Amino acid sequence: MSTIAVVGAQWGDEGKGKVTDFLARDADIVVRYQGGNNAGHTVVADGQEFKLHLIPSGILYPEKMCLIGNGVVLDPEVFIREIDGLASRGINVDNLRISPRAHVIMPYHRKQDACDEESRGAKKIGTTGRGIGPAYADKISRTGIRMADLVDSESFKDSLKTALEAKNNLLKGVYGAEGSDFDEVYGTYSRFGERLSGFVADVSIILNEAIREGRNVLFEGAQGTLLDIDHGTYPYVTSSSPAAAGASLGSGVGPTRINKVIGVAKAYITRVGEGPFPTELNDGTGEKLRQRGHEFGTTTGRPRRCGWYDTVIARYAARINGLDYLAITKLDVMTGLERIKICTAYSYKGETLTEFPPTLKVLAGCEPVYEEMPGWTGDLTPARSFGDLPVNAQKYLNRISELSGVPVALIGVGPGREQTMVLNNLY
């Protein structure tokens, strides 16, 4: 029996969807524990491309159970669109369940997200605009609407009345924006509730029973360590806990029940949205990585900022998440670069920092300290074992693993399921 958490070790978009999809083959259950449709996973299975935002990547295996934990914020409209889209392509969605404790993203959350961003002006976070932050803020303020409310028309009416009054005051009174009409929202969302009621089940009970029975469970993280509300580059973060500890809280499984934590990292690094990024490449190399790696957001289409692999960040991710292994993705994208740099430390006001700083003020002033290696040529996409890789690519992987302090278990050399090498078996 194995229970594995797959977490992003960078700023999100590390290729977790592909790694989860790969590991899902041997899992009985895949559960998402945080975030919402701000995430975007592209999975290629049997030559077909699937873009998933909310539904766990395991859905492409018909017999797996896929769960959405209490830590997720769920936009019912997006969820319905996603299940309908999958069903129309012949994917079975009957094994999908949503926690009654998951909070619902309402239309006023999306409006508030846009107004909040506009009011931040030059200090905007660059959110995905999906209402994620406001939905989590309401959860913490204890004014949120949960799935259990959405599927119970009386309870929904009551909680929506209270919530909408407050939101309309904020949107109209403070932001001068348009409010929402109760009857309209109630009508649309109670229909969503009716449609989704069959999916609602106690995810914590399902998971704990499965673990007791010795089944394999995969906890699928969204976003990444540096976007974690506690451990990320605050305030340029998302509003949930993508770090491994979030897997426990966001699914209702005790931390002692999670056996392994895998950190997914690209062979380089990317970031979307605002905020300091020490190894960012604002040059032809950055552009090459962006074009070759198709580094444009799955959710918003925004170009991703690209930079060299940063082992200060990798060591930080290893510490925060207790990483057992790394899964390194997109190694193939780096082919053809003459020289490759690895960031080993930061230089800040003449001082060498080997630990990731807690403030943006310091991070913004950090210059990367690099070690250089020669690059490699040749197409990596057909490689199926470590020995198939060019020697310089092998040396690069060994070096980043050594400097990150974590062994590599998986290597990705292309988007397909078969383009994944296993160095250490995880089950």
Contacts of 194 (CB under 8 A, 6+ apart): 151
Closest separation in Å from C-beta 265 to ligand IMP: 13
For residue 107, give the nearest of 193, 179, 55, 200 by alpha carbon.
Answer: 179
Is the C-alpha dihedral spanning 143, 148, 150, 152 positive or negative?
negative
Interactions with ligand IMP, residue window 167-226 (CB under 6 A): 222-223
Interface region with ligand IMP, contact rule CB under 6 A, candidates 38-46, 83-91, 152-160, 332-340: 38-46
H helix runs in 176-281, sequence order: 182-196, 203-212, 244-249
Q: Which of 13, 75, 113, 152 is catalytic?
A: 13
Q: Within 10 A of 183 (CB to CB), how many other CB atoms are there?
A: 8
Please, what is the Cα angle at 201 between 195 and 205, to 5 degrees?
Answer: 170
Distance CA 106, CA 157 (A): 13
When binding is defined by CB under 6 A, the residue of 64, 101, 110, 130 that contacts ligand IMP is: 130
User: Does the active-site annotation cover 149?
Assistant: no
Q: Please give the residue whose beta carbon sits closest to ligand IMP in the complex.
A: 273
Distance CA 37, CA 32 (A): 11
Q: Toward ligand IMP, which CB reaches closer, 227 or 281?
A: 227
| Contact between 272 and ligand IMP per CB under 6 A | yes
Number of residues that bind ligand IMP (CB under 6 A): 20
- The amino acid occupying position 31 is V
Interface region with ligand IMP, contact rule CB under 6 A, candidates 128-136, 138-146, 338-346, 358-366: 128-136
Closest separation in Å from C-beta 266 to ligand IMP: 12
Asked if 333 and 412 touch (Cβ cutoff 8 Å), the reply is: no
User: Does the active-site annotation cover 13?
Assistant: yes
Distance CA 285, CA 104 (A): 41
Closest separation in Å from C-beta 257 to ligand IMP: 26
When binding is defined by CB under 6 A, the residue of 5, 27, 132, 171 that contacts ligand IMP is: 132
**Cα 317 off chain centre by:** 14
| Contact between 227 and ligand IMP per CB under 6 A | yes
Q: Which of 21, 28, 41, 332 is catalytic?
A: 41
When binding is defined by CB under 6 A, the residue of 100, 133, 193, 414 that contacts ligand IMP is: 133
Which residues contact ligand IMP (rule: CB under 6 A)? Answer: 12-13, 38-40, 125-128, 130, 132-133, 222-223, 227, 236, 238-239, 272-273
Residues forming the active site: 13, 41
